[in-house]
């Protein structure tokens, strides 16, 4: 009986394991944050609840730049219900293919890693939810699929349980647009 419980526990633990950044090593096109997050970008996405129902849609304008190796992403989100949100990210190098990430509504620094065509950012986000402050653990994965396009999938968790997700497409714009 103990053997069966051990095997079942190992199977369940394996089912909970997600991808690691190293899984994307060598994949193309390479995700170079300083190159992709540079200049104007646009994003279009959906916010889903824990059951997968789309609860909000949004469009965003992003202006990204780098100075002395530090990246700044100024984001403006416009939601389908009329709400507008602003967020400014600062990406600071923290070793080879690693960054710390800060923003006004992020608690403490987030950590980011890059390998191949993937960028993984993990952070704690504080949001307003029904008049209260709510903190969520965010596991944010981005995959570069072409020179101009990144697909972004974010998983939102509270107490280890998935409470929502965000899917979006980020596209580089010509500097003239």
- Reported as a single tens digit per residue, the pLDDT across 61-98 is 999 999 999 999 999 999 999 999 999 999 999 999 99
pTM of the predicted model over 0.85: yes
- Residue 131 is assigned to a structural domain of this protein: yes
Q: Please check the confidence at residue 15 and state whether its pLDDT lies above 50.
A: no
DSSP bridge partners of 49: 164
Give the total number of structural domains in the chain: 1
Contact by Cβ (8 Å): 75, 89: yes
Closest CA to 97 of 116, 122, 123: 116
What DSSP string runs through 121-160? EEEEEEEEETTEEEEEEEEEEEEE-SSSEEEEEEEEEETT
Domain residues for the domain of 165 are 31-172
- Residue 22 is assigned to a structural domain of this protein: no
Q: What distance in Å separates the CA atoms of residue 74 and residue 40, rounded to the nearest whole number?
A: 10
- Residue 85 is assigned to a structural domain of this protein: yes
Number of separate helices (H) and strands (E) present in the chain: 2, 10
CATH assignment of the domain containing 55: 2.40.128.20
Closest CA to 86 of 65, 71, 100, 72: 72
- Residue 104 is assigned to a structural domain of this protein: yes
Per-residue pLDDT band for 130 (boundaries 50, 70, 90) equals confident
- Residue 19 is assigned to a structural domain of this protein: no
- Residue 100 is assigned to a structural domain of this protein: yes
- Residue 21 is assigned to a structural domain of this protein: no
Helix, strand or coil, per DSSP, at residue 31: coil
- Residue 49 is assigned to a structural domain of this protein: yes
| pLDDT attached to residue 11 | 45
């Amino acid at each position: 009986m103990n053997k069966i419980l051990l095997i079942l526990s190992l199977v369940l633990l394996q089912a909970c394991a997600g991808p690691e950044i190293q899984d994307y090593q060598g994949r193309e096109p390479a995700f170079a944050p300083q190159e992709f997050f540079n200049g104007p970008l646009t994003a279009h996405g959906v916010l889903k609840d824990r059951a997968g129902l789309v609860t909000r849609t949004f469009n965003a304008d992003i202006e990204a730049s780098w100075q002395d190796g530090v990246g700044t992403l100024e984001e403006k989100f416009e939601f389908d219900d009329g709400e507008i949100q602003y967020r400014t990210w600062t990406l600071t190098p923290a070793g080879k293919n690693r960054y710390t990430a800060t923003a006004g509504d992020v608690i403490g620094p987030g950590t980011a890693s890059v390998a191949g065509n993937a960028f993984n950012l993990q952070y704690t986000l504080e949001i307003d939810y029904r008049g209260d402050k709510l903190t969520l653990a965010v596991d944010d994965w981005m995959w570069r699929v072409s020179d101009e396009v990144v697909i972004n999938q974010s998983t939102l968790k509270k107490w280890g349980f998935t409470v929502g997700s965000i899917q979006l497409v980020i596209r580089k714009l010509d500097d003239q647009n």
